Amino acid sequence: MSATATIAPESIEAVQSAICTHEQIVVRGGGTKPLLSAASTGQTVLATHRLTGIVEYAPGEFVFTARAGTRLQEIAAALAEHGQYLPFDPPLVAAGATLGGTIATGLSGSGRQRYGGVRDFLIGVRFVDGQGRLVRGGGKVVKNAAGFDLPKLLVGSIGRLGVIVEASFKVFPQPPAYVTVRAPQPTLDDALTAIARLSSSAFDIEALDLLIEDGTPVLYIRQGGLATTLEARQQNLLSWLGGGAPLPNEAAFWTDGSVFGWAPAGWALVKTPVTLNTIPVLEQALHAHGAQRRYFGGGAAAWIAWPGELTALDALLTQLQLSGLILRGEATWPFVGARTGAALVARIKHVLDPANRFPTL
């Protein structure tokens, strides 16, 4: 590790010249997903921690623009002053995650259940590609169909197509109050059926997670809205479910989930997109391997804490035709499992980074 150097440009121009003068670059934001910004010998870390600050925020517009290195904590606090929030509920906010890192890793949290993920709220981006070119895609208004959707291309690009330097997001008013129901289920099948029914129901659900607690599937269902109506809405939900109970200290539960407080230290952490149909067989295999796991977004994805070698998880996911992104763990390649669209990504990368200054994607 000692053979890696770190540079921290203070301006977009400095990012451009840094890219032109370094042969191998790894971009690092807050470093909260360590594997995705890990550098090896000969690589230069381009840290974004000096590229910070909210550039533009008009609360009445429900849109903000900030430099990529800005910590989400700062953004969340600025939004909260006006009763607004990031509806895609990015993870690791309290751990120091940055705006750029969140886009580049394409991560959303439990709150994505209500309105969608990071891809659905990013409206514009400025990035420096592997040739040092400053490129803009999208804009600063909530609706925009002009040009190719470069912002979406950068979601999940892990800093390997370019360095995101600035981004614009739309935001929403935050529900003034929340309540959560904890509802243990007799079997996994029952849990998945409950998720399917809830997701197709007219209940407005902010978050819908499935945990396995001592072998028992447990649903955590969060509702949000006007404090005056929440109690009645929760009662409706409880009687519709025919079970479960209000969760005390519900905010702490979701905050702890957001920083993966449940995942054992030293274990690898992987995100795997799933569906209600793929969960049963994955769940069985994860249980057999002694992995800890938590499903979020109404069964849209799993966070997997993996105790052993990641090659075993890679084989497992490949066999199930699932894919995964490693946030932390020992690996030389950030993905595990099956992969689609790799050939297309390679063609795109050749345009944006022909000299391969950024690692392979």
Partner 1 sequence: MPSDNLLHDLGRLIPATRLLRRPAEMTPYESDALTAFRARPAAVVLAETQEEVIQTVRLCHRYGVPFVARGSGTSLSGGSLPVEDGVVIALNRLNRILHLDPRQRIAVVEPGVINLDVSRAAAPHGLYYAPDPSSQLICTIGGNVAFNSGGAHCLKYGMTANHVLGIKAVLPDGEVVQLGGASLEGVGPDLTGFFVGSEGLFGVALEITLRLLPKPALYRTVLAAYDSLEAAGDAVAQVVASGLLPGAMEIMDALAIEAAEAAVHAGYPRDAAALLIVELEGERIQVEAEFAHLLQVIESSGAKTVTVAKDDADRARIWKGRKSAFSAVGRLSPDYLVQDGVVPRSRLGEALATIERLSRAHQLRVANVFHAGDGNLHPLILFNGRVPGELERAEALASEIIHMCIDLGGSITGEHGVGMEKRQHMPTMFTETDLEVMAELRRALDPHEIANRGKMFPTNEAPALRSHGLHPLERQGILSRE
The two structure tokens encoding residue 250: 């519900």
Q: Which amino acid is at 357?
A: R
- Site residues for partner 1, 96-115, by CB under 8 A, read 106, 108, 112, 115
Residue 219 forms beta bridges with which residues? 183, 210
Is 61 a binding residue for partner 1 by CB under 8 A? The answer is yes
* CA angle (128, 133, 138) in 5-degree steps: 65
Is residue 123 within 8 A of residue 144, CB to CB? The reply is yes
Q: What are phi and psi of 260, to 5 degrees?
A: 55, 40
Q: Is there binding between residue 332 and partner 1 (CB under 8 A)?
A: no
Q: How far is the CB of 3 from partner 1 (least distance, A)?
A: 28
Residues 251-280 within binding reach of partner 1 (CB under 8 A)? 271-277
201 binds partner 1 (CB under 8 A): yes
Binding segment for partner 1 (CB under 8 A), chosen from 52-60, 207-215, 248-256, 286-294, is 52-60
| Residue among 102, 244, 323, 359 that touches partner 1 (CB under 8 A) | 323
117 binds partner 1 (CB under 8 A): yes
Rule CB under 8 A: say whether 133 interacts with partner 1.
Answer: yes
Residue 114: phi and psi, rounded to 5, are: -75, -55
User: Closer to partner 1 at the Cβ: 28 or 114?
Assistant: 114
- 146 near partner 1 (CB under 8 A): yes
Residues 76-95 within binding reach of partner 1 (CB under 8 A): 83
Is 355 a binding residue for partner 1 by CB under 8 A? The answer is: no
Does 328 engage in binding with partner 1 (CB under 8 A)?
no
Say if CB 311 and CB 330 are below 8 A apart.
no
Q: Which of 336, 193, 315, 189 is nearest to 272 (CA)?
A: 336
DSSP assignments along 157-182, one per residue: -TTSSEEEEEEEEE-EEPPSEEEEEE
Site for partner 1 in 229-248 (CB under 8 A): 229, 232-233, 236
With contacts defined by CB under 8 A, name the span among 17-25, 92-100, 132-140, 284-292 that binds partner 1: 132-140
Alpha carbon distances (Å) from 229 to 121, 177, 248, 264: 27, 10, 18, 38
CB-count exposure of residue 202 (10 Å: 0-12, 13-18, 19+): exposed
> Of the two residues 26 and 71, which places its CB atom closer to partner 1 in the complex?
26
